[in-house]
């Protein structure tokens, strides 16, 4: 089998209302798809992130393509190292994200060629993982009641864990928001709190101290991604676990996070850090340090990865409160049942783009 072509497609659609976290406002959602074609009529689907740089990622994919055309898609390790040349290409940023999208597509081809789901190909540790619904963004017109109602609505679809945003308003106002959500969902539901890098370490220490009484399962990304020492200081100051890593790149970045003890729970994102090949190395590195992994975003990809490893903790899950195209972007969907999600019993990722719904939103 040989790779014959690599294509990039980008789709964008508006949200009903802009949503805001600790530092950023998002008016649109979307997806970036990388399709690897072969001479045996098998296609691999890969995904990559960054909603504002699709043109740049498309150009990077075109630049990487010549090194892969005519090669065996099963040789993903060789291809990863041929693409990742940190002096010029890789290390961090959009080039590594593009490499990751190609790598995910290569693994999808492997699963399809062998006729087995990706999670089994990668190790098959379990066929069911706990999941939490991410939401609780700041929105125009969303007060405490609306926030509480949203969090409770996630329980109606089967979730037993939820996540909300903090960092976008004064600390005491956010503490009140956390209190209201805890009271709304009850004491038996896991509650995660995500600051999206909004604080300095001393501010995060104050937040952590004030929300401890509400039994927060983790405080996520309290400081900027490169502030390993600041995150470590916070982790030592609170009984609330610190989660981080969604903005980290490659095994080297996670090595540095682990060495600094900057997080209790790691949150690698295969679409960011360099793909599945690199994700599995990060998982092994985390295992060697007795750390659990809860991947960030892209539940359709990460359900396979968190199901494949023994230190997979919980899956992040988005629904239509965040993405108006939830359940429509792909021909297959995954759902939460009794707090858990299972990977699709289909070859590879088990994903196909729903072109009928997506085509009107295509931008590249």
pLDDT in tens, 68-124: 999 999 999 999 999 999 888 888 999 999 999 999 999 999 999 999 999 999 999
Same fold yes or no, 3-115+355-361 and 120-341: no
pLDDT of 228 higher than 90: yes
**Mean pLDDT throughout 182-189?**
98
Looking at residue 87, its pLDDT comes to 84
Listed by start position, the domains of the chain span: 3-115+355-361, 120-341
> Angle between the 250-260 and 228-237 helix axes, to the nearest 10 degrees?
40
Q: What is the rounded CA–CA span in Å between residue 289 and residue 193?
A: 24
3-state secondary structure of 89: strand
Q: How confident is residue 50, by pLDDT bands cut at 50, 70 and 90? A: confident
Q: What is the rounded CA–CA span in Å between residue 11 and residue 176?
A: 37
Written in H, E and C, the secondary structure of 169-196 is: CCHHHHHHHHHHHHHHHCCCCEEEEECC
Exposure string of 286-311, with b = 16+ CB inside 10 Å and e = fewer, is beeeebbbbbbbbbbbbbbbbbbbeb
Query: Comparing C-alpha atoms, which of 143, 186, 140, 135 is closest to residue 164?
Result: 135
Give me the CATH code for the 3-115+355-361 domain, please: 3.30.390.10
Count of Cβ atoms closer than 10 Å to residue 146 Cβ = 11
Q: How confident is residue 231, by pLDDT bands cut at 50, 70 and 90? A: very high
Looking at residue 123, its pLDDT comes to 96
Count of Cβ atoms closer than 10 Å to residue 229 Cβ = 13
Looking at the annotation, which residues are catalytic? 165, 194, 220, 246, 269, 296
**pLDDT tens column, 35-46:** 999 999 999 999
Between 217 and 332, the more confident residue is: 217
**DSSP-derived secondary structure letter, 128:** -
The architecture that CATH gives domain 120-341 is: Alpha-Beta Barrel (3.20)
Looking at residue 116, its pLDDT comes to 98
pTM over 0.95: yes
- Tokens found for residue 96: 């590594």
Count of Cβ atoms closer than 10 Å to residue 352 Cβ = 13
Q: What is the rounded CA–CA span in Å between residue 49 and residue 247?
A: 11
Handedness of CA 87, 91, 96, 102 (dihedral sign): positive
| Alpha helices per DSSP H over 84-125 | 94-114, 118-122
Residue 206: which H helix or E strand, with range?
A: helix 201-211
pLDDT of 23 higher than 90: yes
**pLDDT tens column, 284-324:** 999 999 999 999 999 999 999 999 999 999 999 999 999 99
pLDDT of 51 higher than 80: no
Looking at residue 146, its pLDDT comes to 98
């Amino acid at each position: 089998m040989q790779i014959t072509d690599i294509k990039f497609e980008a789709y964008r659609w508006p949200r009903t209302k802009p949503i805001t976290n600790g530092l950023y406002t998002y008016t649109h959602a979307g997806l970036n798809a990388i399709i690897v074609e072969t001479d045996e009529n098998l296609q691999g689907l890969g995904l990559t992130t960054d909603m504002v740089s699709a043109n740049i990622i498309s150009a990077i994919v075109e630049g990487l393509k010549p090194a892969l055309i005519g090669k065996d898609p099963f040789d993903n390790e060789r291809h990863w190292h041929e693409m990742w040349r940190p002096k010029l290409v890789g290390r961090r940023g959009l080039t590594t994200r593009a490499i990751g999208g190609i790598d995910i597509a290569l693994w999808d081809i492997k699963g399809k060629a062998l006729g087995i789901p990706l999670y089994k190909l990668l190790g098959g540790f379990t066929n069911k993982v706990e999941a939490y619904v991410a939401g609780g963004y700041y929105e125009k017109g969303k007060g405490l009641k609306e926030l509480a109602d949203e969090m409770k609505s996630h329980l109606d679809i089967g979730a037993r864990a939820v996540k909300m945003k903090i960092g976008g308003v004064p600390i005491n106002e956010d503490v009140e928001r956390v209190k209201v959500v805890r009271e709304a969902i009850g004491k038996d539901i896991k509650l995660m709190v995500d600051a999206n890098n909004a604080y300095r370490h001393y501010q995060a220490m104050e937040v952590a101290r004030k929300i401890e009484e509400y039994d927060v399962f983790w405080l996520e990304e309290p400081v900027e991604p490169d502030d390993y020492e600041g995150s470590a200081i916070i982790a030592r100051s609170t009984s609330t676990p610190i989660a981080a890593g969604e903005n980290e790149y490659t095994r080297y970045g996670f090595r540095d996070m682990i060495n600094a003890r900057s997080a209790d729970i790691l949150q690698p994102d295969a679409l960011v850090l360099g793909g599945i090949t690199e994700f599995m190395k990060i998982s092994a590195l985390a295992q060697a340090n007795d750390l659990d992994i809860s991947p960030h975003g892209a539940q359709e990809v990460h359900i396979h990865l968190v199901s494949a490893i023994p230190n997979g903790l919980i899956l992040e899950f988005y629904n239509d409160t965040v993405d108006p195209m939830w359940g429509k972007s792909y021909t297959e969907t995954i759902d939460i049942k009794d707090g858990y999600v299972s990977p699709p019993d289909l070859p590879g990722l088990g994903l196909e783009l729903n072109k009928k719904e997506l085509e009107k939103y295509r931008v590249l």
